[in-house]
Amino acid sequence: MGLRSFVEVFPDSHFPLENLPYGVFRPTSTTRGDGSRPAPRPGVAIGDFVLDLSVISAAGLFDGPILKDSPCFLQPSLNMFVGMGRPAWKEARLTLQRLLSAEDPTLRDNTSLREKSLLNMNEVEMLLPTVIGDYTDFFSSMHHAKNCGTIFRGPENPIPVNWFHLPIAYHGRASSVVISGTDIIRPRGQGYPTEKSPPYFGPTQKLDFELEMAAIVGPGNELGKPINVDEAADHIFGLVLMNDWSARDIQAWEYVPLGPFLGKSFGTTISPWIVTLDALEPFACDGPKQDPQPLPYLAESKHINYDIPLEVWIKPAGHEHPVIVTRSNFNNLYWTLTQQLAHHTINGCNLRPGDLLGTGTISGPEAESLGCLLELTWNGQKPLNLIGAARKFLEDGDEVFFTACCKGKDYNVGFGSCTGKVLPAIP
């Protein structure tokens, strides 16, 4: 039997009392006295509602030793809270589970406080949950690495030898990380020249999605002081869904010798709710067998992954209903979250609260588990049939939907959705 809340939570909800993911929102149904919009504030999701943590904090209901009198939930972002570390996260989780439980009268029986603090999700605007100072994107799925290598370099040596020794990554562009529901304008750039002509310039002809998840960094580390792999989980607040939109033709022409640039930096979409590692703990599973054995700084005593089913749906332009194109799982990652974070800091690089660490495209071994159109269509050679609409890559007006939900015996722990619609390139 799952935990019971006085807030109605339907059986198929992503957000039961066992989850309580964090986000940042502002109400849409009210305005300030001067006509301006309400300030952003932190919240947690429960069923179809958002609990306003600024109201709960102002009422003095965070009364534990760490959060009592803390201004962390009176901020316009979650950076202060995620930077406080695991003891604060656990205290907040226990307090919120108690306040929202069916048995506790504190909020349940206080009509005025309940009406001020609980808002229907259709009455709020979701915003980026943290101020993202830096964004790193890893390349941690072996199946994705093998498929991409085969497409671009041939089947003889698709995965570089260094890939099995370290979690490869590049530094992305934090300024173009956007919240779910934000439209993505088709980027323009250069592509490979044909025969003796100059490089192509214009709107990308190979716009793609990438099915990823991303870790939100909690407490950071001082410059020059790496994080031990066995302590790395204490520096990861939780996970979000992430679509790292990609322009494959721009990327292919520019990526040698320094890696992705304009083919990636035009837009990265994340879901609004951060699901904590505490909520995901019941869905932990064994990490993958790694051969060769990682170097000592990456050899973790608890080598775990998470069983998180992932889906991608596309609604073609002009169509009413979306079509599922991918079913993958977070446990298809070869390098774990903790290995990624430990490697990121081994040179002394300092991470900061709210930083974003993308996993890279999460592809599985089956044809239906491939995490991008580059793989699903084999670089456009095998178009997909989406309710009669053929797709090699995304077209203007197409909408992409990611969703993820862990299925427990008595409850779900879900992430909601990560969505975006493709708009035409700016002339």
Alpha-carbon distance 265 to 176, whole Å?
7
Distance CA 44, CA 21 (A): 5
CA distance 183 to 363: 25
Residue 37, pLDDT score? 86
- Sorted by sequence, the CB contacts under 8 Å of residue 233 that are 6+ apart come out as 277, 302, 337, 338
User: Half-sphere exposure of 22 toward its Cβ, with a 13 Å CA cutoff?
Assistant: 29
All residue ranges of the chain with pLDDT < 50 are none
pLDDT of residue 32: 61
**Max Cα distance, the chain (Å):** 76
Catalytic residue among 144, 235, 343, 344: 144
Tell me what pLDDT residue 196 has: 87
Catalytic-residue membership of 321:
no
Please confirm whether the linkage preceding 87 is cis (ω < 30° from 0): no
Q: In the prediction, which pLDDT does 33 show? A: 63
First-to-final CA distance of the chain: 57
Instruction: Compute the residue count for the chain.
Output: 427
The predicted pLDDT at position 31 comes to 63
pLDDT at residue 36, as a whole number: 79
Please list, in sequence order, all residues whose beta carbon lies within 8 angstroms of the beta carbon of residue 343, skipping any fewer than 6 positions away.
166, 167, 297, 298, 335
At residue 5, the pLDDT reads 98
User: DSSP alpha helices (H): ranges in 59-122?
Assistant: 79-82, 86-99, 105-108, 111-117
